[in-house]
Each structure stands twice: as structure tokens, then as C-alpha cells.
Structure 1
Amino acid sequence: MTVSTEGTATVLPPGGPAAPARPIPATRRGIGSRGTLLLLEAAVAFAAALVLPLLARGFKLNPLDRIAQVSGLAAIQLRFALIGLVFIGAVALAVRLRGGRHFDLATRFASAALAGLASGFVAAGAVVALHGTPWPMFGLNGDSGRIVEWAQAVANGRPSGSPVYPPAPLHTLGHYAEWFRGGNTAYAFKDLQILGAAAFGPLVYLCWRMLLGPVRALAFGVAPAFALIDAYKPYSQTVLVVLVPVLVAMVVSLSRSGTWNWRPLLLKGAGFGALLGLMFLTYSGWFLWSAGGVLFAALLYFPWRDGRLGRLKGAAFLGASLAAFLVVAGRYLMVMLTEGQTTKDYNFRFDNFTDPAYYLMWRTDMPGKVGEWPLPGEYGGVGLFALVTFAGLGAAIWLGLRKPMVVTIAAMFISAWVMRMYIASHMYETQTVQLYTRTNNQLLYCGLLLCALVVHLVSLRMAERRTQPAADTVPARTTPGTGFPGREGAVIGALCALLLLLGTVSSSMADRYMPAKENTYRILPWVSHTITERDGSCPKYAPGGTCSKDGDQSWLGFIR
């Protein structure tokens, strides 16, 4: 299969890692079109994302007991590993059957399944954390309470409490509650926290599939995104991790638009605009941090050299995108440009009192016992992880300076950095923070992506060299029965490594929300177990069998 990457016509196998170009066998063309196969990948990814949360519903444990929490995580991990190994085993079996004819198909489905299973792991952790209580994380307190209240108002045809808050989550919650929870937006929010976390992996995987083959999308797009997965308000982080590949794909398409026919040009432009509009309605903050970098990339890769007609087509592509975006999100954009200018954030958080140049880990509004923060590093106070990400950024630009993927991501990183420092530099004068610390997530994600793309670019160069051996070079050893230089072995090895990586990361992110009465995000599900249910009873595992209307309010002492 031919997959276009970073604006170059590179021929890659769907499996991904360091594979030489090869023609598509005639027997493979009958399997289905690329669109059909992508739909099948999507079905596999979303189905896999639901398996672990459904299995976790049958666990018999007390979610407030730490031993039970550890046992629950181990039970999820066991099921994750076994199901993942079944898919990897199918890939290995495909190598041996019918001359490897279905190897690429098995690789597609295995990659999609691992992406779904990984986020399903985090969702299953949320099922365990909220076992025995109908309330969402944090009940009706804090952001959770406001979202539930505003969604209830929207569902009843009234304006929400905040005109600048993204409307898509409120409408989604309100309609879901009407359809499935009898209008109870509080109980419905628990469902959407779990389902939102489960959808994280499939959505980011499918967006990166616009640019990369299956294993590469899993390794270089999905894996970095799992540093940000969130089960409390999953929609905000999901928009970030899908916005980056969508914007990159849009810049790549813009760079080629000068040679396209008019109909696909306008349809694709409108499709990008509508998709960006939906994301803007879901969470708009990332658009602000990214705007400068994306504008730079668009100007850089506009089809200036394709003649007058090419420039006209480039302008038409952008025009169709803008028109579709305004149709979908124009009303909310006007609200943000008017009322959003007068909305001020005066709430100083933990990160607002730390070094603004440190972004590598966000400890949330309730950071726990951190002591000195950021932790002192070995090189001028900077740690090894920071040095690796900075070196990765430089190496990615060096190796991929001509590639829209690399340049666009680097530009988004720089744009977020500049906006962060601009807002922080005015913080004393204005006594507002304007959520500038949320750029942590974009900077971290873009930095991890650039480090991953170094591996991607190096593997591409290695593959190109293997396909052009010198006349006196001994042919590379091949995997028996395939005729390709270790490609199948590389794919299977990468999938095994990713299974372990994603399983470990997902376990850590699921453990982040296991209930505990402490100054971390674990307080959120703890409060959910202390709130009186609608029928007047206490949740099944309420501490000491006691509960109250608002739940345990000790969290107020954790907020400075």
C-alpha cells in the first residue's frame, strides 16, 4: 500500500517500521479499497477500546482499598496483555500462511486493536475507581459540578452558565443524559468520562493514519499521546492529540493542492474545515496556542511555485476550509472574539508559582507532596529527560527540515512556547494567568512527537539504503518465506515492544485516579464515593457507611 508521509511521495508498507518499497501484489488489491480498510481498522479499534471496561464491570472489589486497587490494575493488565498477544500472534501466523499474503491486513488490525486496548485500559481503571457509586469523578464539585449544571441547562433549552465554555461537551452530555439516563446529567457524566477515555486511543490512531502506516501511527503518534490521557475531562486532551495530526495533514494537503482537480480539492478543504470546527466547539484553547505556528507552516508550504493556477487552487483549498469551519463553529468563534476578550482567569494554581520554562510534567491543581519543584537536574538544573527532548527537537528539524510534518509540529511547539512566555510575562501586571500553564501539555506532546519522528526519519533512510545496494554488496538476510529484509520480524518486534510500553503507561495513568483521600487527582473519585445518591442512600463503599449531599469537602484544604 502507498502511504504518503510528510509531504513526500514515500512508498511504505502498512506495517510501518523501516520497510523497503515493494509493489502491491495483484492478489492484495481485491481485499478492499483504502477507505474500506480504514473503516475496518476503526471498527476494530473502537471495539477493542470497549472490551476492558466491560470486563472490569464484573470485578468484585472495594475500590477504596489499596490492595483491591492493585489487584484490579493487575487484572486489567493481564487481560490487556492476553488480548494484545492474540492479535500479535495473528500477525506472526499471517507470516507463515499463504506466503504472507494477509500479513499487512493482520498488521493493520493488530495496530488498531492495541491503540484501542491501551485507552480501554485507562477507561477500565475508571470503572474500577468508580465501582459502587453512580456519581462521576468529583461528583457535583468543581469543574465536574459546573459541567453537569451547564449541560442540564443546555438540555432544557436554557443558556449555560458560561458563554465561552465549549458547547459541544455540554450538548453531548445533555443529549446523552436525555437518551440514556432519564435526563440525569450527573450520572450520565460518569458514563462519558469512561467512554471518553476509551475513545482516546482509537481517535488519535485514526488521525495519525492520515499520515503514517499502522505501526508507525501507533509508535510515533499514539504512544506519545498517552502521556496526556485523562479520564476526568477526557475531551480537552483528546482534542489536542487529534488536532496536531489533523493540522499536519491539512498543511501536507495544502502543499499538494496546486496539482489537484477542483472537485477533490474543494471537498477535502471543506472536510478539514468541518473537522476543525467540531474540535473547536469541543475545546478551543489548543487553537490559540497553535495559531502562530500553523500560520507560518501554511505560508511556507502554500503552492507558490505551482504557477498562477496552482496558487489559485491553494487559495481555494484554504477558502473551502475556512467556509466549512465558519459554518460549523462561526457563531462560537464570534462569542470567543467578543465575550472571550473580557473573560479573565484570576485563579493562581500550583504551576503559576514555578519556573515558567519547565513544562515536562504537569502535576495538576492538586499536585500532592512534591517538595522542591521542578526537581533539580544535573545540567544547570535541567534533567536528562529535558535534554533528550531538546536534542530530539533539533535532530528532527535537521533530518526533516523539508518535510511538512516535522516543520508544522516544530512550529506549533514554538508557537505555544512564545504564547506561554508572553502571558506569563504579563502575569504580574494583570494579575491573571489565562490558563497559560495548559501549554505544558502541547509542549510536551509536540516534543515527544519530534523525538519519535527522529526514529521514524532514521528508519526511512535506512530503508532507502537497503533498497539500493551497491553492485558488490551481499544481499541482506531475509525472513524465511517472505523475501523481504527482516520486515516481518521488525513489525512483530515493534508490536511486542509497544504492547509492553502502552500497557505500562496505561496502568500508571489508570492508577492516577484510584480513590484516596490525598492532595492529588485521587481525591476526585474518593469524593464520588462520599455523596448521597438520588434515592437518599449512600454509595456501596462509602467510607464508614456515611455520606453527605456534597460529599467529603476536605479537598478544599488542598487548593491554595
Structure 2
Amino acid sequence: MSGWASGLRRVVVPGAEVVAAVAGGLVMPVAARFVDVDPLDRTGQVSALAALQVRFTVLGVVLLGVLMFCHRWRGGRAYDVAKRVVCAALAGLASGFLAGGIVVALKGTPWPLFGLSGDTGRLVEWSASIVHGHGNPNPTYPPLTLHALAWWAQLFHHGNTAAAFRDMEIGGAAITGPAAYCAWRFVLSPLWALVVGVVPAYSIIDPYKPYGAVVMIVLLPVFVVSVRHTMRVGDMAWRPVLVSAVLFGLLYSLLFLIYPGSSLWSAPGLVAAVLLLFPWSKARVGRLLAFIGVTVAVFGVLCGWYVKDLTGPGNVDRAYGFDAYTDPAFFSMWRTDMPGDVGQWPPPGELAGLGLFSVLTFAGLGVALWLGWRRPLAVTVACVFGGTWLWRMEIASRMWATGTVQLWPRTGNQLLYCVLVLGAAATAFAATRLAGWPPLPSRLGAHVGALAAVLLVLGSAASSVSDYWMPAKTNSYKILAYVSQTMRKPDGTCPKYAPNHQCSATGDQSWMNNFAGPRNH
């Protein structure tokens, strides 16, 4: 292959992966528009979930068929490219399923989840302020997110930020899988990027305010790439050291301005991973310090003002929700932040109160470190987990003295994603160690079998999470779509499927009655 053709391939094939992932994420919500059900009727919800599952499964089987065809066609010369495209498309279909579920849940109403109540109302109001030229009224909220919302509203909805927020919820859910897959592809092969990056991502995927979960998911492989780069930077020429530092500074700034929480919680772990894995010597330290210094300088120029606002003395969080009263060592399940009467929480487990699922995730962490010791993936993710855990406990330990929460319960999703990634990585490390023993009867059989298992896992998870958001008047996140379905439309009429054709200017507000004080169990 000529140098020109080789260079073109290095661009076209990754581009095809990105296109396949995004297309997979968009096809499901588009298909969901043709699912004709009443989204407030339980029978309609079940029918919709089944209809989405049929579409997801058929598309998945077609992709597996393409992979098998390419294995035979022209001696399998296109097989590796086909595998990359198929894995990317499956990643998109997985999150597209949830986006399709949100399309069904909001069928017949123009409003986003929660109408204009709670966080939705505030974000719609703040971004509308930007649209009208008054600037951002809340400088501590992620500025790039609000400005992107305002820009989208002006470009596609004549300045209607509520409609733009609805698009962001559906589109954000759809793009989560492609974002996870593409980010992890910088670290892992296509199949393992799907298993290690996308499957665990479904534990924290969030269509309500999707940008937080997307940044959290993307940051982890970015950290791994960063640590891996610092291990090599000491032996690089000065020019690539400085250029790469500027690029990393820009990337970190972009993610931080979209959602800063994950970056702040992860910073101690990232520093620890660099210190542990850098090949220390006098000759290399100078380039490492230059790389870190330029990266931090770029970040400081672009984000220093925002860091100052976030860490200022006036930015105090006293939002004592349900999750702030739970055992801080428990993060394996997320029940919602609406308290009500949930009985014993965390639920009782088999081992001194610890559930089997938690035991397995911790065992996966240990195996990942055992098999992946000195590997950037295992060490970086474990350090991020450890740093986030300690920060969580430090903030929680000061609740009594300070009377503040400072968002420590929101570290739970990051901790869960980290241990699930490590568990999946342990499987990848073990598979690498056992490669060739016992000898596999067929490479195609191994790939098809693994992808079929992933297809079933992701399809089942997507259905479960989609059901979690179907509208219902309950003390759960189902109430968010229910509020949207009971809120009067801008033209004064009720949404098509409003219960008994009744609605109000604000939608059903019974969710306010769910809040209660702490429970001692």
C-alpha cells in the first residue's frame, strides 16, 4: 500500500467508525417517532418498549450479518474494517434505544422532561437570558452548556430554549454511546472499547441533564491517554511536548466548561497516577514539568475565572436531598434524589450488609490491578476511583460541622462507573493473558459470540433504563415526564395524552409532596 493510500486509510476508517456510531445513535429516536401508543397508559409503554426492542434487535442482527458476510467476502480483506464499524454502530444503537424511549415518553407534548419545573425551568430561564442578550445570570453553572443551549435555540427554535432543552435531552442520550465508544477507542480495540467503555456507561447514562454523564464517561479514557502520554513525554523532542501540552489543555478546558464536577473530583487521582507511572529520571523530569506547566497554563487562561467562581466562598451547597442522608460508603445503586418512604436504604446485603453486586465490583477492581499492574488503564482508573472516594468522604465528614453538602452524593455515579470499567478491564486483561489457550476454533465465532452477548446486555439494559423514564405519577424519575404530559402547551391546549384531557400551566406538581426529612434505618 502506498504512503498516500495508507494515510487516507488512517483517516477514512476512524471517520467511518464515528459516522457509524452517530448514525446508530440517531436511527433509534427517529424510528421511535413512528411508535403509535399512548405513553401514559402502561400497556402503551410496554408495547413501546417491545417495539423499540424489535428495532434494536433487528438492526443488531443485521450488523452481525454484515460482519459474517465480510469475513467471507474477498477473503476477509474488509473484515477488520467491518468489525470496527459494527462495534461503533452497536455503541450508537445502545444509547439510541434510550433516546427513543424519551421520544415515546414525551410523545404529544412539546416540553422537555419536567416541563418548566425544577432544574429544567432554571436552565431554560438562564439560557433564555443569554438569548435575549442579558448574559448568564448564574456564573457558577457550566457556561459552555448554557451558551450551547442558547445557540441551538436561536438556530433551530426561534429562541425557544425549552424546545432546545428537549432536543438536548434526546440528542444527549443518543450521543452518549458514540461518545463513550470513540473516547475509549483511543485506549482499546473496537470490541474492548464496546465492552469496557459502553456497557458500564449504561449504569450512569442520564437523559435529563445528559452533559454531566457524557463528560464523566469521556474523561476517564482521556485521563488514561494523558497518563500514557506523560510516560512517554520524557523521551520526546521539545516541539511535540509543547504542542501536545497545548492540545491537552484545550481538551481539558472544553470538558471542564461543559461540566466541571468530574474534573474536580478526579484531579487528585490523575496526579497520583502520573506520579506512580512516570519513569522518573533527571533527564526526563524537565520535559514532564514543561508538559504539565503548559497544559495547566492553557487551562488557567481559558478556565481560571470559572475555577475561581466555583471555589469561591459564596458557592455553598446546602441541598440536603435524600441521597445526602444515605450511607456515604454506598454507591452501587441510584434510587433518585426524591426521598419519600423507600424503606431501608441502602437495601440489605448478604455480606455484613454489603450486596453481592458490590462484592463483585470490588473483586473486579482487585483483579484489574492484579493483572494490569503498571498498565495506564488500570492504575489511572483505580487512582481516580481512590481520589474521588477520599474526596467524597472528606466532604461528607464535614457535613455536621459546616452544614453543607457540596455535591458529594454526585460522586456516586463516578465511583460506580470506575469500578465497572475496572471489572470489564479485568476481563480484557485476562483474555489477553489467555490468548491462544485454549485455541479458539474460530476468530469469527469469538467475535460474533461476544457481540451477541453485548447486544443482549445492552438491549436489556436500554429497555430497563427507558422504562425508568416512562411517565407515571410516582415518587421516582417517572414523574418528570408526567409533569411534561400534564403541562399546558404554549397555544393553551393540553398535550394529546394528558390524563382525562386535563392539564395546568405548570403541570402536575404533586412531586413537591415527596420531599421528607432524613430517615434513620
Query: How high is the TM-score relative to the length of structure 1?
Result: 0.89
- Tell me which of 216, 236, 261 is aligned to 1:240: 216
Letter in 2 for 1:299: L
Determine if contact 2:321/2:339 at 8 Å carries over to the other structure: no
Q: What is the distance in 2 between the residues matched to 1:368 and 1:274?
A: 43
Q: What is the distance in 1 between the residues matched to 2:311 and 2:320?
A: 24
Counterparts of 1:3-152 in structure 2, within 5 Å, are 30=6, 32-152=8-128
Determine if contact 2:253/2:299 at 8 Å carries over to the other structure: yes
> Residue in 1 aligned with 2:515?
559
Q: CA deviation at 1:491?
A: 1.3
SS at match of 1:33: helix
Cα 1:261–1:355 shift into 2, 3 Å: same
Cα 1:247–1:421 shift into 2, 3 Å: same
User: Structure 1, residues 144-167: CA drift from partner, whole Å, max 9, x if none?
Assistant: 000000001122232333211111
User: Structure 1, residues 278-299: CA drift from partner, whole Å, max 9, x if none?
Assistant: 1111111112211111111122
> Residue in 2 aligned with 1:405?
377
Q: CA deviation at 1:331?
A: 2.7
Note if 1:252 corresponds to 2:228.
yes
> Residue in 2 aligned with 1:531?
487
Letter in 2 for 1:185: T
Determine if contact 2:339/2:515 at 8 Å carries over to the other structure: no
Q: What is the distance in 2 between the residues matched to 1:450 and 1:513?
A: 28
Q: What is the distance in 1 between the residues matched to 2:109 and 2:54?
A: 25
Cα 1:47–1:542 shift into 2, 3 Å: same
Letter in 1 for 2:288: G
Q: What is the distance in 2 between the residues matched to 1:449 and 1:419?
A: 20
Q: CA deviation at 1:41?
A: 0.6
Counterparts of 1:301-450 in structure 2, within 5 Å, are 301-305=277-281, 307-308=282-283, 310-338=284-312, 341-366=313-338, 370-450=342-422
Query: How high is the TM-score relative to the length of structure 2?
Result: 0.95
Note if 1:522 corresponds to 2:478.
yes
Q: What is the distance in 2 between the residues matched to 1:559 and 1:278?
A: 36
Q: What is the distance in 2 between the residues matched to 1:199 and 1:270?
A: 26
Aligned residues: 516
Q: CA deviation at 1:94?
A: 1.4
Letter in 2 for 1:397: L
Q: CA deviation at 1:68?
A: 0.5
Note if 1:452 corresponds to 2:424.
yes
Determine if contact 1:297/1:408 at 8 Å carries over to the other structure: yes
Determine if contact 1:392/1:454 at 8 Å carries over to the other structure: yes
Q: CA deviation at 1:367?
A: 5.5
- Tell me which of 208, 220, 223 is aligned to 2:184: 208
Q: CA deviation at 1:26?
A: 9.4
Letter in 1 for 2:450: A
Determine if contact 1:257/1:303 at 8 Å carries over to the other structure: no
Q: CA deviation at 1:518?
A: 0.5
Letter in 2 for 1:36: V
> Residue in 2 aligned with 1:155?
131
Counterparts of 1:245-324 in structure 2, within 5 Å, are 245-305=221-281, 307-308=282-283, 310-324=284-298
Note if 1:490 corresponds to 2:446.
yes
Determine if contact 2:52/2:97 at 8 Å carries over to the other structure: yes
Letter in 2 for 1:330: G
SS at match of 1:97: helix
Determine if contact 2:215/2:259 at 8 Å carries over to the other structure: yes
> Residue in 1 aligned with 2:469?
513
Please say which of residues 503-512 and 90-99 is displaced more in the overlay.
Answer: 90-99
Cα 1:477–1:187 shift into 2, 3 Å: closer
Q: CA deviation at 1:327?
A: 3.8
SS at match of 2:241: helix
Identical amino acids, percent of aligned pairs: 49
Q: CA RMSD in A?
A: 1.9
SS at match of 2:204: coil
Cα 1:478–1:100 shift into 2, 3 Å: farther
Please say which of residues 317-326 and 417-426 is displaced more in the overlay.
Answer: 317-326
Q: What is the distance in 2 between the residues matched to 1:130 and 1:193?
A: 11
> Residue in 1 aligned with 2:519?
none
Cα 1:491–1:26 shift into 2, 3 Å: farther
Letter in 2 for 1:314: L
SS at match of 2:434: helix
> Residue in 2 aligned with 1:227?
203
Please say which of residues 488-497 and 216-225 is displaced more in the overlay.
Answer: 488-497
Letter in 1 for 2:289: A
Letter in 1 for 2:299: F
- Tell me which of 160, 173, 188 is aligned to 1:197: 173
Please say which of residues 549-558 and 351-360 is displaced more in the overlay.
Answer: 351-360
Q: CA deviation at 1:356?
A: 1.4
> Residue in 1 aligned with 2:148?
172
Determine if contact 1:28/1:101 at 8 Å carries over to the other structure: no
Determine if contact 2:88/2:178 at 8 Å carries over to the other structure: yes
SS at match of 1:520: coil
Letter in 1 for 2:208: Y
Q: CA deviation at 1:357?
A: 1.0
Cα 1:336–1:354 shift into 2, 3 Å: closer
Structure 2 spans left out of the alignment, 5+ residues? 517-521
Q: What is the distance in 1 between the residues matched to 2:444 and 2:139?
A: 53
Q: CA deviation at 1:123?
A: 0.3
Determine if contact 1:135/1:187 at 8 Å carries over to the other structure: yes
Q: What is the distance in 2 between the residues matched to 1:522 and 1:497?
A: 29
Cα 1:428–1:478 shift into 2, 3 Å: closer
Cα 1:330–1:36 shift into 2, 3 Å: farther
Letter in 2 for 1:71: S
Q: CA deviation at 1:249?
A: 0.7
Cα 1:29–1:375 shift into 2, 3 Å: farther
